[in-house]
Structure 1
Amino acid sequence: MNTLTTPARAPEIKSADADVTEAFESFMSAFEDYKQHNDQRLADIERRGSTDVVTEEKMARIDRSLDEQKRALDRLMVKQARPSLGRTAGRETSAVRQAFDAYVRRGDEAALRQGELKAMSAGSDPDGGYLVPDELDTEIGRRLSELSPVRSIATVRQVSGAVLKKPFALDGMATGWVGETDARPQTATPQLTELQFPTMELYAMPAATTSLIEDGALDIENWIAAEVEAAFAEQEGAAFVAGDGVNKPRGFLDYPSVDDTSWSWGNLGHIATGAAGAFGADPSDRLIELIYALKAGHRQNGRFVMNRKTQSQIRKFKDADGNYLWMPPAGAGQAASLMGFPVVEAEDMPDIAADSASIAFGDFRRGYLVVDRTGVRILRDPYSAKPYVLFYTTKRVGGGVQNFEAIKLMKFAA
């Protein structure tokens, strides 16, 4: 007697989209739990004037869990956004990529030295290394925009020289009303200032064994991009926020700040919270002042920039109607919002402390400029750290404030 059997089901493989959806749902569930416990905490304070230790501990645990889940969601979104750089079946590898692959794997410089490849900007002085193929150069730049939060919201310019000089008109062109037959006197010349953004060298030096490099199954270009991205993004992120401009970009927090009522060009305006190292009695009022310190043209593209610790404090705040000021992302891949404006997490922003500028708000696309010198250069070094091969990878990056009206700071001071 034949028995009909049902074939065993293949194990389900979750797609990247499913992982992101699941992570987002977990994050939203954690936020609802957070709101419930925070509402209870506020009710206890209103009823008894204080809250118990157990509730505070629960709030702290949920807050940490919320941060971890948001971090996991961010990692999944970055992973999902990365294109595959592996070899695709049926696609011919370009001569430039073949030559670069031979150089990286075996140190074969012959193809890169050929005149036709030099004409394609693939070759360079072997003592200084070789320029990577365009595909890898683009990949490193794209990954940096994902991992370096300020780069992702700023204006990015590519230059072929060492310094970008940018003229800026401090005053608009003078105009005036006249009658039909009135004389037209010459108007005043607009006042111009020149801003300079020098590029500084940023380097990384990943290492691999010879056997690993010679393994044909390894996508060497993708591996170099993965190794370099984290090193470059970490250094860039810190420099764009607080770099001093010495051998690195100048961060927006390195510029002098003055009370916004006495703002002048060359300074960033700040709003004081009214309490040293704290938000003061009315956090929502201070945040509103910060938002409206920007002119309308900049405010419509405004973003908050702060680190996770500062954001965890803001999550607890409500407005006069009992609505939370901080709102979670509306969907996977979107940013959380504060009073209707996106929040960008930059871990290099300072924690809340006396006189700290822990929150920035502004139109960073107009306010901050990142300058990339075209090309990423790689020098293969098989001698300095045997049996490892070092890949000395360099690029030149600069940055600084280009419009002092477009960024405002919140200073935690009386």
Structure 2
Amino acid sequence: MKQILELREKRAKAWESAKKFLDEKRGDDGCLNTEDTAAYEKMEADVMNLGKEIERLERQAAIDLELSKPTSTPITNKPNGNPSGEEKTGRAGMEYRREFWNAMRKKNYYDVNNALQIGTDSEGGYLVPDEFEQTLVQGLEEENVFRTLATIIQTSSGDRKIPVVATKGEASWVDEEGQIPESDDSFGQVSIAAYKVATMIKVSDELLNDSVFNMEAYISNEFSRRIGAKEEEAFLVGDGKGKPTGIFNSVGGASEGVTTATVSITFDDVMDLFYSVKSPYRKKSTFVMNDSTVKALRKLKDNNGTYIWQPSVQAGQPDTVLNRPVVTSAYAPAITTGGKVIAFGDFKYYWIADRQGRSFKRLNELFAATGQVGFLGSQKVDGKLILPEAVKVLVMKAANGT
């Protein structure tokens, strides 16, 4: 923690030095010469590298904290009894958990039939135990930054209808004893489906037979990494065809807040985007953009000459633009003419629907010739912005000037 704080202070000082250098070296035309430009870009790269190192140390601290948790809980029940709580059953039971992992490790493990029959899905795999499913969800949240912003719901069927207020009624001034006009709310529906995302993991026979190899942790981490990355891409730029609908998608995504007047982003553009979101949503809003877009925003100043991007100096707190948090993703669109490049709003109105039950299936014969065993991991999920007015996007000016 001390090292993280020191790096944050170092990054803040480096950024202040870079801003001071930029102000001092600007010519009468507001630009830098070639030599000064190279020097400034190096200073800016140092700031970004410090930020990445801080993120790595924070992830390392989080992993250390997770691994330091006790692997077992003390026995508090009396012998031959369970007076302090109900015994877990079904997929939450210890028997199911034990038989599930035995089935994953061993090729012909017939003793699992009775214990696992409650966890057999329609496609022939086994639904993962409850505790392991929670591990997968936690892993997805670590891999998928968008899950920390959105609202996550659980569904047990394919589709779910979400009622949404389309228009709101209004009050009216009326004369004494005058008739009060009717003004009802109108309601619409947003349908969230369940799209399948899957991955295949191969493990050698030697590793499966090695008692030291933690297969549960390995499969959990790989599943989280692969599925989490594919999910985040869909939540941001998905077209809704066989996958979730992304925030930046032209149909079903966030509505346009502002279009830039030039081919570059200015302070006025960011300010217009900020106020294009209604105040109730703006209070809880977050900026989402690509790293390359952050680089462009770092050079912008407000009307008082203050840089609008401010680095975080406190552990666990994000960088800010106009005092609102900034979240970056490699899957957010980079700056292109005519493209949507920044999303700003309350992303709690983007709903992610996890269909209950993630399935694993062991493939014994497919990779037998190479001495490997395959594991299929899949889940069903959808994501959709249910209230378009809660999130707005900044659109770059098109090349033809329109």
The residue type equivalent to 2:10 in the other structure is S
Alignment correspondent of 2:344: 361
Deviation at 1:243, TM superposition (A): 0.6
Aligned residue runs from structure 1 range 2-401, under 5 A: 17=1, 21-47=2-28, 49-82=30-63, 83-84=66-67, 88=71, 94-107=94-107, 109-114=109-114, 118=117, 121=118, 123-125=119-121, 128-173=124-169, 175-176=171-172, 187-256=182-251, 268-276=255-263, 278-279=264-265, 283-366=266-349, 368-386=350-368, 387-401=371-385
The answer (yes or no) to whether the contact 2:355–2:380 under 8 Å persists in 1 is yes
Deviation at 1:24, TM superposition (A): 4.4
Deviation at 1:285, TM superposition (A): 2.0
Deviation at 1:207, TM superposition (A): 1.2
> Structure 1 174/323 Cα, relative in aligned 2: closer, same or farther at 3 Å?
closer
For 2:69 and 2:105, how far apart are their aligned partners in 1? Answer: 16
The answer (yes or no) to whether the contact 2:248–2:254 under 8 Å persists in 1 is no
State the Cα deviation string for residues 94-151 of structure 1 (Å, max 9, x = none).
2222111201111455454215x54xx5x20596210111122111112222221222
For 1:169 and 1:78, how far apart are their aligned partners in 2? Answer: 40
TM-score by length of 2: 0.86
Identity %: 25
Deviation at 1:27, TM superposition (A): 4.4
For 1:112 and 1:251, how far apart are their aligned partners in 2? Answer: 41
Alignment correspondent of 2:84: none
SS at match of 1:162: coil
> Structure 1 356/184 Cα, relative in aligned 2: closer, same or farther at 3 Å?
closer
Deviation at 1:91, TM superposition (A): 6.4
Alignment correspondent of 1:404: 388
Structure 1 vs Structure 2 CA RMSD: 2.6
Deviation at 1:269, TM superposition (A): 2.5
Deviation at 1:324, TM superposition (A): 1.8
For 1:174 and 1:53, how far apart are their aligned partners in 2? Answer: 60
For 2:50 and 2:185, how far apart are their aligned partners in 1? Answer: 52
The residue type equivalent to 1:274 in the other structure is A
Deviation at 1:310, TM superposition (A): 0.8
Deviation at 1:382, TM superposition (A): 2.1
SS at match of 1:170: strand
For 2:130 and 2:334, how far apart are their aligned partners in 1? Answer: 39
For 2:307 and 2:30, how far apart are their aligned partners in 1? Answer: 21
For 2:197 and 2:222, how far apart are their aligned partners in 1? Answer: 14
For 2:254 and 2:122, how far apart are their aligned partners in 1? Answer: 44
TM-score by length of 1: 0.83
For 2:170 and 2:53, how far apart are their aligned partners in 1? Answer: 53
Provide the aligned length of Structure 1 versus Structure 2. Answer: 377
> Structure 1 207/72 Cα, relative in aligned 2: closer, same or farther at 3 Å?
farther
SS at match of 1:270: strand
Deviation at 1:87, TM superposition (A): 8.1
State the Cα deviation string for residues 60-118 of structure 1 (Å, max 9, x = none).
22333333332232233234334349982566992222111201111455454215x54
For 2:108 and 2:180, how far apart are their aligned partners in 1? Answer: 71
Deviation at 1:48, TM superposition (A): 6.7
> Structure 1 159/48 Cα, relative in aligned 2: closer, same or farther at 3 Å?
closer
The answer (yes or no) to whether the contact 2:8–2:313 under 8 Å persists in 1 is no
For 1:203 and 1:345, how far apart are their aligned partners in 2? Answer: 25
